[in-house]
């Protein structure tokens, strides 16, 4: 039973002095209004209205219910207004989770900029190289790349990151540079435990997908350890290109099969529920997407600098 709705009908009936006019304001029939008032009288066990040919007026009990009802309805509307303002505010504690590498290089700087722009927002950032459940672990927003894992939250794709297979030039000098996807099996692949290949992964060329065989030689859950393994010439690995652009440019790393890039990595925003999404989520996600787009454009520009025009 909507008790506030019954109170609202009752107060309007007294304001109008007429059940018919109250019905018009409420968008109901007069019998429906009369029934609601009878329900309210039954709820309190008191007669609240005196009905006559000229209209309605309150009994002593009705006067008390009317006065208290106005206070309750006013408080309810004030509460709704404050809740609406809360949804539009960027303040309070906001817990964000992401992987170590992504947090250090991409999301961390974004959150620092947001923190300066919104001083009332207390951001708690967790860097964890594991798949967490945002509901069970009380996280407001998790940023995931590639694999979502099991979660009771709501997820939506917000961006993609170009990925690259990479190794040191010294390792490729020793193992030999593959000329096609089938030759990848000669090299040792260093994989992240959340990004396991199952023996193959997809490479693309001119819109055609190739299933390249993979010989896994090392598996780790720490991105820093994977980079160290590549640096120590253990094998080759796969990572988002924007993480490696500088090292690829200065020759520390070399792209493996550059004509056959692996598929892009999807970026997901995960939050407890559709109803929990508020202005804070919107600010963080929009800022992150803008940051990723800017880094992607800068990465392309570094690889393809504009050609000087000679007059």
**Which domains are assigned to the chain?**
3-87 (1.10.10.10), 92-161+266-303 (3.40.190.10), 163-263 (3.40.190.290)
Residue 188: pLDDT band by 50, 70, 90 thresholds?
Answer: very high
Q: What are the b/e assignments for 201-225, b being 16+ CB within 10 Å? A: bebeeeeeebebebeeeeebeebee
DSSP 8-class letter at 306: P
Do 233 and 217 touch, CB atoms closer than 8 A?
A: no
pLDDT digits over 75-84, tens only?
888 777 666 6
Stated length of the chain: 311
In the predicted model, is pLDDT for residue 171 greater than 50? yes
Q: Which residue has the higher pLDDT, 276 or 68?
A: 68
CA distance 97 to 140: 8
Do 214 and 185 touch, CB atoms closer than 8 A?
A: yes
Strands of the chain, DSSP E: 49-52, 55-58, 92-98, 121-127, 141-145, 154-161, 163-167, 188-192, 200-205, 208-213, 215-220, 236-240, 254-255, 265-271
Which tokens in the block code for residue 308? 């000087």
277-294 mean pLDDT: 91
Which tokens in the block code for residue 146? 């590639």
CA distance 132 to 169: 36
Return the minimum-mean-pLDDT range out of 184-188, 200-204, 229-233. Answer: 200-204
What region, left, alpha or beta, does residue 19 occupy, with left being phi > 0 and alpha being psi -120 to 50 degrees? alpha
pLDDT digits over 150-160, tens only?
667 888 999 99
98-105 mean pLDDT: 88
3-class secondary structure, 63? helix
- Give the pLDDT of residue 311: 46
Q: Which residue has the higher pLDDT, 83 or 189?
A: 189
Q: In a 10 Å sphere around its CB, with 0-12 CB exposed, 13-18 middle and 19+ buried, how is residue 244 labelled? A: buried
Q: Which residue has the higher pLDDT, 145 or 280?
A: 280
In the predicted model, is pLDDT for residue 86 greater than 70? no
Q: Which residue has the higher pLDDT, 170 or 91?
A: 170
Output the CA angle 137-138-142, nearest 5 degrees.
Answer: 85
Q: What is the pTM of this model?
A: 0.67
Return the minimum-mean-pLDDT range out of 4-18, 98-112, 187-201. Answer: 187-201
Among the listed residues 141, 140, 165, the one whose alpha carbon sits nearest the alpha carbon of residue 255? 165
CA distance 106 to 109: 6
pLDDT digits over 241-258, tens only?
888 888 999 999 999 999
Average pLDDT value over all residues in the chain: 87
């Amino acid at each position: 039973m909507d008790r506030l709705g019954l109170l609202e009908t009752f107060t309007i009936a007294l304001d109008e002095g007429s059940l018919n006019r109250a019905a018009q304001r409420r968008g109901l029939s007069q019998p429906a209004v009369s029934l609601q008032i009878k329900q309210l009288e039954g709820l309190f066990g008191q007669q609240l209205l005196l009905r006559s040919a000229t209209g309605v007026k309150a009994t002593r009990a009705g006067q008390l219910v009317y006065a208290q009802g106005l206070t309750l309805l006013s408080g309810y509307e004030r509460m709704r207004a404050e809740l609406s303002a809360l949804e539009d505010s960027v303040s309070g504690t906001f817990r964000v989770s992401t992987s170590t590498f992504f947090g250090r290089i991409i999301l961390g700087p974004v959150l620092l900029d947001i923190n300066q722009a919104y001083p009332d927002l207390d951001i708690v950032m967790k860097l964890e190289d594991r798949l967490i459940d945002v509901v069970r672990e009380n996280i407001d927003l998790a940023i995931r790349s590639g694999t979502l894992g099991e979660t009771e939250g709501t997820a939506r794709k917000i961006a993609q990151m170009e990925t690259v297979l990479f190794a040191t030039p010294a390792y490729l000098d020793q193992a030999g540079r593959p000329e096609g996807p089938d030759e990848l099996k000669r090299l040792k692949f260093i994989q992240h435990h959340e990004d396991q290949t199952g023996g193959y992964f997809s490479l693309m060329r001119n819109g055609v997908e190739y299933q390249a065989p993979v010989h896994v030689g090392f598996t780790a859950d720490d991105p820093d350890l994977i980079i160290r393994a590549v640096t120590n010439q253990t094998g080759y690995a796969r990572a988002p290109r924007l993480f490696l652009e500088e090292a690829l440019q200065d020759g520390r790393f070399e792209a493996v099969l550059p004509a056959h890039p692996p598929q892009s990595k999807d970026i997901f925003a995960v939050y407890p529920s559709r109803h929990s999404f508020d202005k804070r989520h919107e600010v963080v996600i929009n800022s992150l997407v803008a940051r990723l787009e800017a880094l992607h454009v800068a990465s392309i520009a570094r690889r393809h600098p504009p050609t000087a025009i000679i007059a």
